[in-house]
Amino acid sequence: MSMTITEKIIARHADKASVRPGEKVWVDVDVLMTHDVCGPGTVGIFKEQFGPDAKVWNRDRVVVIPDHFIFTADAKAQRNIDILREFVAEQDLPHYYDPDFIPAGGCKGIPPAYDDPRTTPYAGVCHAALHEKGHVRPGELLIGTDSHTCTAGALGMFASGMGNTDAAFILGTGKTWLMVPETLKFVFHGTMPPYLMAKDLILHVIGEIGFDRATYRAMEFAGEALMSLNIDERCTLPNMAIEAGGKNGIIATDELTCEYVRQRTDKPFETVASDPDADVALLMEFQTDQLEPVVACPHAPDNRRPARELGDVRVDRCYIGSCTGGQITDMQAAAEVLKDREVKIETFVVPGSTEIDAQMDTVTVGDRSVRQVLQDAGCRIGPSSCMACLGGPRDTFGRANEPINVVSATNRNFPGRMGHKEAGVFLASPLTVAATAAAGEIVDPRDWIDLDKPVGLR
């Protein structure tokens, strides 16, 4: 029976030859990820339901990545990390990335100056760290206590976010149940123009289908334009599947995927692809070079407008960071725009992971590092973390503490998302955000880049 990639992975983990959309099955979970916001609640339920001395089902399959509220003096945020630390010690979990291993000066509160976290096990945002540290493997099944866990689908994995109760059950049993989602397929034909980024593609998709059309459905992304992107950029599409309600986002593997994974883990994996005649509930195709840079205006990710139409919007801040806009390709794209310019709007830059943070010193634009270019342009660069993507405590770097307008390379723009509930968040690609910072108003990046040159590391 023909199946999609999502159906095949679920069938394999349910120990069945095939599954159909709507069917409810128990599946074995390969990896459970949690972080500092939901981890303490998950641990509490686990202990309540399985007993104070219970052990997790498999130490090697639990990954704990504090990343959200790290660089803050907030006592409750720090207490959350302490709870995780105690649980990790008690259970002797090997995959834990402790933020306290950052050198003095870079740990509590907003660092007065950038401090190098690369000598530490701290990893940065979970959805970047998961694949960088080899926890994402094609054909496997990942559950995380975070809605953007779907990011890992970029490497051909079934990955989905769940709440603390489901996660606690997985901690105790290694199992969860799923209703098999029907698949919506999005195909990007042609070539990727240098002025578009993956963020533009997914904002087009969500703008077309609306923020709830994919509710409890798989969003499968394909096409030669998409597969021409590096792993960084591919991650942006499954990452934002949840912004349309998706259960998971997924991209089939190719040699680039397999090579990326092999460089990060020696664990075996088995790739999966959709059958060409597999049923899908929706097929939407795009001629990629006909698309233009877009912005999702407040307060919904489907509120799509062409960037060139938004010049009259007041812009108070620009922000480049998060698990979807803080990859090294995003940083390099921003640096290409800003290499001989200064920002006219205050601009915060936050690398998505400590690995990306380190790459900002080694990847160059012209004869300067990406970090140097962004600093010379007047950007403020913070240490890797979720930072203002989720608002966070009031002392969070880049947080919108006033009702300002922020043009941001992040992924969600509901009221209050970046701090103040009356702040407006305009979602855009890092190219559009950087061009906006340079122009002092929202602009189409086509006028601000070399159109003969590919974006970043593409």
| Chain contacts with ligand SF4 (rule: CB under 6 A) | 68, 125-127, 146, 148, 322-323, 386, 389-390, 410-411
Q: In terms of Cα–Cα distance, which of 302, 287, 277, 273 is closest to 226?
A: 287
State in angstroms the smallest separation of the CB of 8 from ligand SF4: 27
Nearer to ligand SF4, 219 or 439 (CB): 219
Q: In terms of Cα–Cα distance, which of 389, 394, 391, 381 is closest to 72?
A: 394
State in angstroms the smallest separation of the CB of 40 from ligand SF4: 16
State in angstroms the smallest separation of the CB of 327 from ligand SF4: 11
State in angstroms the smallest separation of the CB of 386 from ligand SF4: 3
Between CA 288 and CA 345 the distance in angstroms is 30
State in angstroms the smallest separation of the CB of 433 from ligand SF4: 15
Nearer to ligand SF4, 13 or 135 (CB): 135
Query: Ramachandran region of residue 387, left (φ > 0), alpha (ψ -120 to 50) or beta?
Result: left
- Are the CB atoms for 411 and 148 separated by under 8 Å? yes
State in angstroms the smallest separation of the CB of 136 from ligand SF4: 15
Nearer to ligand SF4, 10 or 125 (CB): 125
Tell me if residue 124 falls in helix, strand or coil: strand
Write out the E strands in 223-332: 248-251, 282-287, 294-296, 304-306, 317-321
Nearer to ligand SF4, 192 or 425 (CB): 425
Write out the E strands in 31-123: 31-34, 62-64, 95-96
Q: First-to-last CA distance in the chain?
A: 37
Name the β-bridge partners of 176. Answer: 27
State in angstroms the smallest separation of the CB of 427 from ligand SF4: 11
Between CA 400 and CA 277 the distance in angstroms is 48
Nearer to ligand SF4, 148 or 399 (CB): 148
Q: For residue 236, what are the CA distances in angstroms to 151, 152, 197, 243, 384?
A: 7, 10, 9, 11, 18
Tell me if residue 67 falls in helix, strand or coil: coil
Nearer to ligand SF4, 143 or 225 (CB): 143
The amino acid sitting at 194 is P
Between CA 351 and CA 278 the distance in angstroms is 38
State in angstroms the smallest separation of the CB of 127 from ligand SF4: 5
Between CA 255 and CA 261 the distance in angstroms is 10
Helices 354-362, 328-338: crossing angle, 10 deg rounding: 40
Nearer to ligand SF4, 329 or 411 (CB): 411
Between CA 230 and CA 406 the distance in angstroms is 27
Nearer to ligand SF4, 68 or 135 (CB): 68
State in angstroms the smallest separation of the CB of 319 from ligand SF4: 11
Nearer to ligand SF4, 91 or 239 (CB): 239
State in angstroms the smallest separation of the CB of 415 from ligand SF4: 16
State in angstroms the smallest separation of the CB of 322 from ligand SF4: 4
Nearer to ligand SF4, 130 or 250 (CB): 130
Phi, psi of 336, rounded to the nearest 5 degrees: -60, -40
Nearer to ligand SF4, 14 or 206 (CB): 206
User: Two tokens at 400?
Assistant: 């919108």
- Are the CB atoms for 331 and 347 separated by under 8 Å? no
Between CA 178 and CA 284 the distance in angstroms is 25
